[in-house]
Amino acid sequence: MISKNIILQMNNSNIQFNSNMNETDQLYFNIENQNITNYININYTISFNKTLNDEIFYFIISENHKLQKKTITNNNISYTYFYGINDLNFDSNTLKLTKKNNLNETNKKYTYYIYKLTKTTNTNYNINTFVTSGSYTIGYELVYIKLNINNKKVNLDLTDTTTKINKDCLKLINENDELKYILLQKNTNYLFYIDNFFSKIQIYNEIYEDYDLKSIFHTNINSTFIEINETKKYKWSIVNNTLNLKGDLINYDIIDNVANDEILEDNIFQNINILNKIYYNHFDYNEFINIFKINNNTNHLEKTYSNKLLLVDKIQLKRLEIILPSNNIRLGIVYKILFLHDLISINIKCEDNTDNIENYDVFKGLINIININNNTKKIKSIIPDFYIVNNKKTIDLNNNIILKNSGTNKYGYIELYCINKINNKYIWNIRSDLLNNNNLNINSIFI
């Protein structure tokens, strides 16, 4: 567990960091509009330096605005002060608050107070003057990560002590020496530092368009703060004068995740060798632990199938219907479907597709279908439009995807991510690469 010594100073009624405070450490004690956020699993020591006027400023954390008064004696001088949920310590001629924030305090409504203690005589400090107050919020753990970039490959800098301690709090997946995936934990705050000039990492809520920025870039110390409080799929980018890296970011819940430890291996399709298809016309996937077969005409996908590889390999099956769950699902659930034989049609719908139009789930994303004989392709974008009425988002989109033409060829692939929930509707993002088995135009993609 790390410790942070936070030294503050006052400018009139505004809280500032002491000029000797390390800039990175300042981000562990977030001051925004005079409201303060600290984080769990950090030992904080919060104090002010004693002023030249023999004034002692001190910091209090209170619940329900309850303060208590106490008098102590140090070197024959008495000090009378207030304190809140934690008593203060007298050290180096100032009053210090020492506190470790716990997980059960993340929903507490605390208030901080700053008082100035002055003396009436040379041996008695007993005048307490109120200076300022504000909200004191305790956030989830703040994880500092230092990254190294080598060409397009990104790794943790394990020479950095704090990064080495936090190395299990995320996963970087490089493919062919290029970063493709980042996995972050739900209910965690990340502070990224990239040891490359003018490099920064950015996280976006949308997958295909760079808007709705999730991350905050601190230019003074070249770092990025990211707050992850949900399981959801994002897009990341690392950009500087020479780099333009982009990929997928997946957030997951380590406490309640329907997947298992093989999520990382399946994410990059370990043990698949495409050369087998090119030279020998067969395709092998040897990680059988994470495979389920969905070979019925109608397949209800279980929540436990998340992050598994779902195979369709029954040659007699020609018309496939896939039904996604709509009840008690979690954001971040993902289904990955690989077609190992030809199909005439594919119909994907949600479990609540017969429900009231105000409630049923919807799709968004991209469907790619490529003609294998002439290398032409059709791309269908699915973007659910929403409008706001009485400060409420309302989505207008049907909830079935029907792929019906002269047929989809084997080795097509579909991924379905549950990425958001608006009102009572879950939003499923679809990404696909499908092969059409003739040269006819592909017009029959119904939404």
Nearest-CA neighbor of 370 among 434, 413, 432?
434
* Lowest-pLDDT range of 63-72, 307-316, 348-357, 416-425: 348-357
N-to-C CA span, the chain = 51
Given a cut of 60, whether residue 444 has pLDDT beyond it is no
Residues in Cβ contact with 56 at an 8 Å cutoff, skipping those fewer than 6 apart: 48, 50, 79, 93, 94, 95, 116, 117, 118, 125
Type of residue numbered 63: E
Decide if 446 contacts 402 (C-beta within 8 A). Answer: yes
User: How confident is the model at residue 202, as a pLDDT?
Assistant: 81
Average pLDDT of the segment spanning 322-330 = 83
SS3 sequence of 374-399: CCCEEEEEECCEEEEECCEEEEECCC
Average pLDDT of the segment spanning 145-156 = 89
Looking at 3.40.50, 2.40.10, 2.60.40, 1.10.3470, the CATH number of the domain 143-252 comes to 2.60.40
Nearest-CA neighbor of 283 among 294, 265, 271, 295?
271
Return the domain boundaries, the chain: 2-139, 143-252, 263-446
Q: Which residue has the higher pLDDT, 69 or 198?
A: 69
pLDDT band (50, 70, 90) for residue 15: very high
Q: What is the pLDDT of residues 375-417, one digit of tens each?
A: 666 666 565 545 455 555 554 445 566 665 556 778 888 888 8
pLDDT band (50, 70, 90) for residue 349: confident
Residues in Cβ contact with 49 at an 8 Å cutoff, skipping those fewer than 6 apart: 7, 9, 18, 94
Determine the Cα–Cα distance for residues 32 and 239; give it in Å rounded to an integer. 27
Q: Which residue has the higher pLDDT, 268 or 311?
A: 311
pLDDT band (50, 70, 90) for residue 355: low
Q: What is the pLDDT of residues 94-144, one digit of tens each?
A: 999 999 998 889 888 899 999 999 999 888 999 999 999 999 999 999 999
Q: What is the pLDDT of residues 174-191, one digit of tens each?
A: 888 888 888 888 888 999
Average pLDDT of the segment spanning 416-428 = 77
DSSP structure class, residue 213:
B
Mean pLDDT of the chain: 79
Question: Pseudo-torsion of CA 208, 211, 216, 222, nearest 10°?
Answer: 70
Determine the Cα–Cα distance for residues 116 and 112; give it in Å rounded to an integer. 14
Sign of the dihedral defined by the CA atoms of residues 367, 368, 373, 374, in that order: positive
Given a cut of 70, whether residue 241 has pLDDT beyond it is yes
Largest CA distance in the chain: 96
Q: Which residue has the higher pLDDT, 401 or 418?
A: 418
Which residues face 413 on adjacent strands? Answer: 338, 433
CA–chain centroid gap for 95, Å, is 37
Global pTM?
0.56
Determine the Cα–Cα distance for residues 144 and 441; give it in Å rounded to an integer. 51
Nearest-CA neighbor of 348 among 379, 382, 315?
382
